[in-house]
Structure formats: structure tokens, C-alpha cells
Homo-oligomer: A and B are copies of this chain.
Amino acid sequence: MYYQLSPTEQNYIKQIYTLSDGNHQNVLTSDLAAAIKIKAATATDMLSRLSDKKLVDYEKYYGARLTDKGKQVALNIIRKHRLWEVFLSVKLGFSWDEVHEMAEELEHATNDELSNRLEQFLGNPKTDPHGDPIPNRKGEIEKQKTIRLSETGQDDTVEIRSVEDQNPALLKFLSKHKLTPGARLLVKEINQYDRSLEIKVNNKKVLQLSRDVAENLWIIRVK
């Protein structure tokens, strides 16, 4: 019961959690393999090992889902990941699009006592720099009802919560135009022919956003 999980195992579990959207759907071998950048055969192998350890429910050919035990592991890693992201961005001044990779390494070098102290040192932040909520030490996470920017209507005022795609080019683009979590957006116009959006950012600059970009921005409606 109380053996240590390897960083590799923890990574698989974290990815399964993310891909299952908080454990609401089964994760397919191929999707998992793509996310972790390993071959499908390897994912199959690991899935059956995680299944032996009761961390996932896995049915051959139909994918996997985390058990309660697995979900706790996932949320604990995600907690550490996001706390480090806050540290790197707020205390060390790394930009929003640089922190992910580093946090990926640090999270596995972090025991619970360390993450708890770090949280306190950071002033108990509620979200990471991408706007995603940080699970508390019991593994509870605040559920946000977000929608994609592409799903808003004209004249809506919204606030960016998180970004879906981790593509560096996209993150750079967003960073450049201040399209970061917390940013306020006014949707001025929606073009019917290509579904692009004209938006005003933080009550200042007006921008044209492609449908593609809008699909990747998760937002909440404001007011």
C-alpha cells in the first residue's frame, strides 16, 4: 500500500487525469501515448501495470480511468505543479509561457511538507499563472464552469481562465497580446464567414482572433 510511485508513473497518472477532464471520460491508449510522447505499446504496458496497482480501471481496447486512489495521486501532483508555477512566475519573474516545463521537473522533487510550506510562502494562491485552480492539501479542487471563448455571444464581457493548447507558439502569441488568465475581454464582433472574433483586451487594444485561437481559450462570463 505504501510504496513509492516513480516519477514516470506519476506522470502517466497526471496525464490520465488531465485527458479525462477531471475523470469524466475514459482515456484511450493512443491519446495517452500522444500526450506523453511514447508509443502506444508502451502506454498499454504501463496501463496494465497501473491497473495492477489499483490506480486505474483499465479494460483492454477501451481505455482507462483513474480510481479514487489514482485521482488523489493526480491531484497531489497537479497541486505541486501549479504551486511551482506560481513560484517561478511571481517570485522568480519567469514569464507565463516558460514555467510549465520547469514545474514539470520540480513537482517530482517535492514532498508534501515542502508543497505545504511553499503554498504558505506564496500566500495561499487560488490559481496558477494560467488561471487553473490549485488543489488544496486534501486534494480538493475548485470546479469552475468555464466555456470556450468561441462559445460566447457578441458584446459579452469575459475573463480568461485558462488555455487549452500547450503549444509554445500559441502561448507566445497570447502572452504578447496580454491574452493571459485574468485578462478582461469585450467581444465586439463575431464574423460569420470565418467565425473570427474582434475583441477589446483589458479595455485597451482591439484585436482580431481566429476561431482556432478562440477555441483554445477557456473563459468565464463576467457580470
Q: A residues engaging B (CB < 8 A)?
A: 88, 91-94, 102, 105-106, 108-111, 114, 117-118, 121
- Least CB distance from A34 to B in Å reads 23
Contact check, A102 vs B114: say whether CB atoms are below 8 A apart. yes
Contact check, B105 vs A109: say whether CB atoms are below 8 A apart. yes
Question: What is the chain B residue whose CB lies nearest that of A117?
Answer: B92
**Contact check: which of B92, B94, B109, B111 meets A109 at CB < 8 Å?**
B109
Question: What is the chain B residue whose CB lies nearest that of A84?
Answer: B109
- Least CB distance from A164 to B in Å reads 26
Question: What is the chain B residue whose CB lies nearest that of A118?
Answer: B92
Bound complex: CA A7 to CA B109 (Å): 12
Bound complex: CA A110 to CA B110 (Å): 13
- Least CB distance from A158 to B in Å reads 33
Copies in the complex: 2
Q: Within 8 Å CB of A94, what residues of B? A: 117
10 pairs of residues in contact across A and B, judged by CB atoms under 8 Å? A91-B121, A92-B117, A92-B121, A102-B114, A105-B109, A105-B110, A106-B106, A106-B109, A106-B110, A109-B109
Bound complex: CA A91 to CA B92 (Å): 13
Contact check, B102 vs A111: say whether CB atoms are below 8 A apart. yes
- Least CB distance from A222 to B in Å reads 34
Contact check, A117 vs B105: say whether CB atoms are below 8 A apart. no
Question: What is the chain B residue whose CB lies nearest that of A92?
Answer: B117
- Least CB distance from A28 to B in Å reads 30
- Least CB distance from A5 to B in Å reads 14
6 new A-B contacts at CB < 8 Å, known A105-B108, A108-B109: A88-B114, A92-B117, A92-B118, A94-B117, A105-B111, A109-B109
